[in-house]
């Protein structure tokens, strides 16, 4: 399970000209799922993301987590994070989980994150054509992969 985590001053998701998610200070999380992802991948990744100290403290040092700042989050499913670009010029998405595997894992990820955060976790819509807007704060962008824990 891969996640691209972006610290944002604001972010939103629009589907068919309707804004379905909108946050201020927090994280925009793009989530890519593979077939062999399990509950332990979700638990590890949610814990790392919610406790990652990437928000500034009073001394402008990145020393606070999403939990510490009572921040907001948007989680967007993005199968293209699992692209393989080793051969040719067209990315292969063969490693991305099929919807019947990915959707339940995506929903579990959101539920586990919601159980940790005080504010509700907003989302895009799995499989939809989404327009994602963000104001990256910093910029701070971090990539996490549950398959690279060590």
Is 78 tagged catalytic?
yes
User: Alpha-carbon distance 88 to 90, whole Å?
Assistant: 6
- Per-residue pLDDT band for 119 (boundaries 50, 70, 90) equals confident
Residue 150 has pLDDT above 80, yes or no: no
Is 79 tagged catalytic?
yes
Locate the DSSP E strands across the chain. Answer: 2-15, 18-23, 26-32, 55-56, 62-64, 72-77, 121-123, 130-145
Topology of domain 2-145, per CATH?
Answer: 3.50.80
Identify the active-site residue in 6, 55, 79, 82.
79
In this prediction, residues 43-54 reach a mean pLDDT of: 98
In this prediction, residues 13-24 reach a mean pLDDT of: 97
For the chain, the average pLDDT equals 96
- Domain locations in the chain? 2-145
User: Alpha-carbon distance 40 to 112, whole Å?
Assistant: 11
Residue 31 has pLDDT above 90, yes or no: yes
pTM of the model: 0.95
- What is the pLDDT at residue 4? 98
Identify the active-site residue in 78, 82, 122, 123.
78
User: Alpha-carbon distance 85 to 125, whole Å?
Assistant: 26
Q: Measuring CA to CA, which residue among 64, 103, 63, 97 is closest to residue 80?
A: 97
Give me the percent of the chain exceeding a pLDDT of 70. Answer: 100
Residue 10 has pLDDT above 80, yes or no: yes
Tokens 């955060």 correspond to what residue?
Answer: 117
- What is the pLDDT at residue 149? 81
């Amino acid at each position: 399970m891969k996640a691209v985590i972006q610290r944002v001053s604001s972010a939103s998701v629009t589907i068919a000209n309707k804004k379905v998610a909108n946050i201020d200070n927090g994280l925009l999380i793009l989530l890519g799922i593979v077939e062999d992802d399990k509950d332990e991948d979700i638990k590890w990744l949610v814990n790392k993301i919610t406790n990652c100290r990437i928000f500034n403290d009073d001394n402008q040092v990145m020393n606070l987590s999403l939990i510490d700042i009572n921040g907001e989050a948007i989680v967007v499913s993005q199968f293209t994070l699992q692209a393989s670009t080793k051969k040719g010029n067209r990315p292969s998405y063969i490693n991305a989980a099929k919807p019947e595997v990915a959707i339940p894992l995506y929903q579990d990820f959101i539920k586990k994150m919601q159980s940790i955060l005080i504010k509700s976790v907003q989302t895009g819509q799995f499989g939809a054509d989404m327009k994602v807007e963000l104001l990256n704060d910093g910029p701070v962008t971090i990539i996490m992969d549950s398959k690279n824990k060590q």
